[in-house]
Amino acid sequence: MTVQIGDSIPSASLGVMTPDGPSTLTTDEIFAGKRVVLFAVPGAFTPTCSDRHLPGFLENAAAIRRRGVDTLACLAVNDVFVMSAWGEATGAAGTLQMLADGNGDLARALGLEADFTQFGMGHRSRRYAAIVDDGVVRWLGVETAPGVRESSADAALAALDALGPRG
């Protein structure tokens, strides 16, 4: 079943790159007590993800943070090394938290896993964005067709404006 507004983010461990090398963060560490805008892409370095989805959040990061967002995070079913390299290559490192869902555990737990085996990519995440307050999903924009509309930075900004301050 796909996660719904009002649901809690399930427990999972995600890979992150630190100055000391690869590490993990739990979803509790990422979401507890914070307002997080999370967006997920099918794959790092893929055309739509690199050319449209991630750049929109990078360009709007300051505006998103001004709306009371503590963390702006990008998630993909890739390993921590790929997510780190993608963050460096796009200039997102230091602005976006690059989260590696290496085995797709969180994508599967959220019901947002996608089968890209026909493209040689295996099982990945669907393209989506979410606003999560203290671990609870307050808004969710999931793409149902190719492109970036429902999960765009503009859609997240509009949702943040509609939700108002965390509380």
pLDDT by position in tens, the chain (length 167) = 799 999 999 999 999 999 999 999 999 999 999 999 999 999 999 988 999 999 999 999 999 999 999 999 999 999 999 999 999 999 999 999 999 999 999 999 999 999 888 887 879 899 999 999 999 999 999 999 999 999 999 999 999 999 998 76
Backbone angles phi, psi at 99, to 5 degrees: -110, 130
- Which position among 9, 14, 49, 110 bears the catalytic label? 49
pLDDT of residue 110: 98
pLDDT of residue 115: 86
For residue 49, indicate whether it is catalytic: yes
Burial 80-92 (b: 16+ CB within 10 A, else e): bebbbbbbeebeb
Walk me through the domains of the chain, giving residue ranges and CATH numbers: 13-162 (3.40.30.10)
| Sequence-distant (≥ 6) Cβ neighbours of residue 35 within 8 angstroms | 68, 69, 70, 71, 131, 132, 133, 134, 166
* Residue 68 one-letter amino acid: G
